[in-house]
Amino acid sequence: MSFVHEIDHGTPASASAATVKLIIDGHEVTVSAGTSIMRAAVEAGIQVPKLCATDSLEAFGSCRLCLVEIEGRAGTPASCTTPVAAGMVVSTQTERLKQVRKGVMELYISDHPLDCLTCAANGDCELQDMAGAVGLREVRYGYQGANHLGQAKDESNPYFAFDPSKCIVCSRCVRACEEVQGTFALTIQGRGFESKVSAGMAESFIASECVSCGACVQACPTATLIEKSVIEIGQPEHAVTTTCAYCGVGCNFKAEMRGEELVRMVPAKDGKANHGHSCVKGRFAWGYAHHRERILKPMIRETIDQPWREVSWDEAIGRVASEFRRLQQAHGKRAIGGITSSRCTNEETYLVQKLVRGGFGNNNVDTCARVCHSPTGYGLKATFGTSAGTQDFDSVEQADIVLVIGANPTDAHPVFASRLKKRLRQGAKLIVIDPRRIDLVRTPHIEAAFHLALRPGTNAAILNALAHTIVTECLVDEAFVRERCDLSTFEDWAAFVAEPCNSPETVGPLAGVPPETIRAAARLFATRGNGAIYYGLGVTEHSQGSTVVMAIANLAMATGNIGRPGVGVNPLRGQNNVQGSCDMGSFPHEFSGYRHVSDDGVRGTFEALWGRPLDAEPGLRIGNMLDAALDGSFKGLYVQGEDILQSDPDTHHVAEALAAMECVVVQDLFLNETAAYAHVFLPGSTFLEKDGTFTNAERRINRVRRVMTPKNGLADWEITLAIARAMRFDMHYDHPSQVMDEIARTTPTFAGVSYALLDREGSVQWPCNERAPTGTPVMHADGFVRGKGCFIVTEYVPTDEKVGPRFPLLLTTGRILSQYNVGAQTRRTANIVWHDEDVLEIHPHDAEDRGVRDGDWVRLDSRAGGTTLRARVTDRVAPGVVYTTFHHPGTQANVVTTDNSDWATNCPEYKVTAVQVAPSNGPSDWQRTYDAQALAHRRIAAAPAAE
């Protein structure tokens, strides 16, 4: 727990290693060269009055409040814009300075509403503080002159208000939007007295290009831009540092509280993944935690057509244990299994796989990473020796050329995208490989050097063509390959990519990219300097997902882009803890730390610790569990924090399999789609209600801290413990820190991790052990984890999903900024104002051929199924390609996707489906009845009348 207000150093820290000594107000101060006088003073404990400066932004020098006197220099320079110099003697408080500052403050205050007592920022207003700091006692000009007091408020944004009458035109908001967020949505319009902050083209915030990241609100020193939650609730009185539960960036936040009431989430300045920045989801979309649809009591029912009946925790847990035991007695110990969640903590995930392996006695455990990044694990382990990205996010600041393939960071990983955009504005070059013109291709002050708008499904071909150019034009980093890689695998690979079938001239026509563009992009990547590759689900969710991950690794090794800052292979993980759920042993063939269940030594360690014999046979993957359910051999499933009916491919198949099971247990916040087939519902807890850790895309283990009591009575980890105990598998922990201690004891890459270390360091990146006691920001620095880097031949094999006369278009899917995955949380927040339905993007030519206009309802059909949604006619997608998001259950985009999957990992091929689009009169019958059906599934029997 900490105080809400943090020290603001006024200007950013200097990165210089050299130091400078100077005197400030009689104190000798030593600081890094390049530090501002203002920051040097703050570091010495001396506050210089300021308004336009804040340490998240470059100094601007407009308010003239921070003036100082420097011996031997004329005038009163601004301390925020003046760097320190050796031997400088500075005075921050002289009679002359006091008078100047009072005069400045008088001008501000004469044009400011004097409603401090009822202002929402009372207690957190820098203008108020500065009036006190300069000793302002009167305003000689009075308050009757020309002023801005009558200006209308803009309350269009659901989360923050803009009251221009309180604006002091310090430009902090404008600079935050430019420097930190990179959206450039704000400007100062007009000059002098007429100058004012304006969103977009003098629009409301909601109508402008603002993405609601909150950076301007955080930067504003007054109540001009302020969170509506603060207006409603009041100022927070304490803060707890925790981690966002949405995406794999893993931003740290200060949860600012009044007692147990959350007032606002403020991005933590010392968060190592986000450095004080946030996106609309983590910053504002936490209201789902107390949404009225949240289920807070355990419920059971005998059959899935009955209404739910609320019961005690004891009865619900007893039912789970007795049903699972009955099913194992009747059908064998492998008749049940569990699914872990990438939304839950490492500790919770570890406990679920421990319950399955130790308590159920089999390895039937899988995770939702199966449907997103399992190819990353496979591909990077095969080439580098470890199943994780190679860098930290800070690394991008040293990249010279960035290749983004199959990822859309501005929507899916927004805080990382802001850092990437900053680096691109500084001059780094960008290559985008994506079927769709994502925002990064052209956005304010950024333009990609190349956009390879390939046909969905041709990633492997394009990467081979890039490699072909690099090998045949002698652009390989031979010294790196000779020293760091397995030469025989390199030679095989080089001979393979040099084949004519991999040349840009052969690949270009089939991928729909001009050969000369492929060649130019390859040359740029190989010769520009530090080359960093970032990729997402547009790489993994293909029938060749693992192949393409290996092709990316090959490209990085061939160009020497591994093992130092600024380079690397960086999977942008989708969910907050997808890395962690994989690390914790959620796959049916691996214990924590990616060690195979058939390894007698590893298995022996766990057997000794858990006191149970463990199965040496890999268990069933999610898809195999579903198939086995339809065969009649798999009967019971414990699903923690996952909605497999919505997130897994071929919805009909999943529904039939779930319906065939005898005991489905769903643990979640809401009665999700999967719960329609459940017999026991265990109410889950939010990230605000529990302790634990999440591991982000850069392998960073971040603390999640409980800020309020679980509304359902138990945190998720306690529920798993209760099930284990009821099944007579005694797992005992008093606190999640003890679970982490066990993980550290049993998992070499986590050997040094403890809550004490995390509390001290803020966060660490695994491997964290004796050799790396505070973690490993960049992997494979001195050698690959597997020894020598292994090149793997990555032959392009076209997907079985072919277009033809019936299904002539290719559908690909993605995310949008304001929504998250299947939308269970974000749809229950005000984020719905930005995206209240999934729409189908279609190129104008394809739309015209079909008589479809923008906004029309269209039917989308594939070989697997069909749905209807509205069309958005746009040239963001190429002719022949259509695109949609999958955030709304009423659309059920996965009804359309096929059951094709990655050859190595079964990761579904969500990104390529042959479809047809035709005009429609409106939603299909099942969509029309969706709400009614959903309500039926959510029926809860009335409580029996009291006797």
Verify binding: residue 97, ligand FES, rule CB under 6 A: no
The helix (H) or strand (E) run that includes residue 263 is strand 261-267
Verify binding: residue 534, ligand SF4, rule CB under 6 A: no
Q: Which of residues 68-87 bind ligand FES (CB under 6 A)?
A: 78, 80
Q: Answer with the entry of ligand SF4, ligand FES, none that 539 interacts with (C-beta below 5 to 8 A by kind).
A: none
In the complex, least distance from residue 576 CB atom to ligand FES, rounded to whole angstroms: 37
Verify binding: residue 388, ligand FES, rule CB under 6 A: no
Verify binding: residue 64, ligand FES, rule CB under 6 A: yes
State the Cα–Cα distance between residues 331 and 337, nearest whole angstrom.
13
Q: Which of residues 408-447 bind ligand SF4 (CB under 6 A)?
A: 413-415
Within 319-457, strands assigned E span 336-340, 365-367, 401-405, 429-433, 442-443, 446-447, 450-452
DSSP assignment of 467-525, as one string? HHHHHHTT-S-HHHHHHHB-HHHHHHHHHHHTSGGGSHHHHHHHHTS-HHHHHHHHHHH
**Is cis: bond before 767, omega within 30 of 0?**
yes
Total residue count of the chain as it appears in this document: 947
**Per-residue tokens: 419:** 């850092």
Which of these ranges, 64-72, 149-157, 210-218, 756-764, lies near ligand FES under the rule CB under 6 A? 64-72
Verify binding: residue 62, ligand FES, rule CB under 6 A: yes
Q: Which is nearer to ligand SF4, 176 or 494 (CB)?
A: 176
Pairing state of beta strands 89-91 and 913-919?
Answer: unpaired
The helix (H) or strand (E) run that includes residue 844 is helix 844-849
Verify binding: residue 175, ligand FES, rule CB under 6 A: no
Could you say which of 34, 61, 123, 808 contacts ligand FES (CB under 6 A)? 61
How is the chain split among helix, strand and coil, in percent rounded to 5?
35, 20, 45
In the complex, least distance from residue 130 CB atom to ligand FES, rounded to whole angstroms: 10
State the Cα–Cα distance between residues 224 and 232, nearest whole angstrom.
15
Verify binding: residue 444, ligand FES, rule CB under 6 A: no
State the Cα–Cα distance between residues 654 and 658, nearest whole angstrom.
6
Q: How far apart are the first and last CA of the chain?
A: 46
Q: Answer with the entry of ligand FES, ligand SF4, none that 246 interacts with (C-beta below 5 to 8 A by kind).
A: ligand SF4
In the complex, least distance from residue 129 CB atom to ligand FES, rounded to whole angstroms: 13
Q: Answer with the entry of ligand FES, ligand SF4, none that 63 interacts with (C-beta below 5 to 8 A by kind).
A: ligand FES
Q: Which of residues 238-267 bind ligand SF4 (CB under 6 A)?
A: 244, 246-247, 249-251
Q: Which is nearer to ligand FES, 175 or 595 (CB)?
A: 175
Verify binding: residue 47, ligand FES, rule CB under 6 A: no
Verify binding: residue 51, ligand FES, rule CB under 6 A: yes
Q: Which is nearer to ligand SF4, 636 or 641 (CB)?
A: 641
CB within 8 Å of 947: residues ≥ 6 apart: none
CB within 8 Å of 560: residues ≥ 6 apart: 477, 479, 480, 481, 567
In the complex, least distance from residue 250 CB atom to ligand SF4, rounded to whole angstroms: 6
Q: Can you tell me whether residue 569 is helix, strand or coil? A: strand
Verify binding: residue 813, ligand SF4, rule CB under 6 A: no
Interface with ligand FES (CB under 6 A), residue total 12
Q: Can you tell me whether residue 216 is helix, strand or coil? A: helix
Which of these ranges, 208-216, 513-521, 603-611, 852-860, lies near ligand SF4 under the rule CB under 6 A? 208-216
Pairing state of beta strands 839-842 and 881-885?
Answer: antiparallel
Could you count the other beta carbons within 10 Å of the beta carbon of residue 107? 14
State the Cα–Cα distance between residues 320 and 326, nearest whole angstrom.
10
Q: Which of residues 131-170 bind ligand SF4 (CB under 6 A)?
A: 167-170
In the complex, least distance from residue 50 CB atom to ligand FES, rounded to whole angstroms: 3
Q: Which is nearer to ligand SF4, 177 or 622 (CB)?
A: 177
Cβ atoms of 661 and 620 closer than 8 Å: no
Q: x/- binding map, residues 376-415, to ligand SF4, per CB under 6 A?
A: -------------------------------------xxx
Which of these ranges, 55-63, 472-480, 571-579, 735-743, lies near ligand FES under the rule CB under 6 A? 55-63
760 burial via Cβ count (<10 Å: 0-12, 13-18, 19+): exposed
Which of these ranges, 215-223, 471-479, 492-500, 680-688, lies near ligand SF4 under the rule CB under 6 A? 215-223
Which of these ranges, 26-34, 218-226, 300-308, 448-456, lies near ligand SF4 under the rule CB under 6 A? 218-226
Verify binding: residue 279, ligand SF4, rule CB under 6 A: yes
Cβ atoms of 560 and 525 closer than 8 Å: no
Name beta bridge partners: 188: 197
Q: Answer with the entry of ligand FES, ligand SF4, none that 66 interacts with (C-beta below 5 to 8 A by kind).
A: ligand FES
In the complex, least distance from residue 57 CB atom to ligand FES, rounded to whole angstroms: 11
Could you count the other beta carbons within 10 Å of the beta carbon of residue 190? 11
At position 83, the amino acid (one-letter code) is P
What is residue 114's DSSP assignment? -
Q: Which is nearer to ligand SF4, 68 or 249 (CB)?
A: 249
Q: Answer with the entry of ligand SF4, ligand FES, none that 80 interacts with (C-beta below 5 to 8 A by kind).
A: ligand FES
Residues that bind ligand FES (CB under 6 A): 50-53, 61-66, 78, 80
Residues that bind ligand SF4 (CB under 6 A): 167-173, 176-177, 181, 183, 185-186, 197, 210-216, 219-222, 224-225, 244, 246-247, 249-251, 274, 278-279, 281-282, 413-415
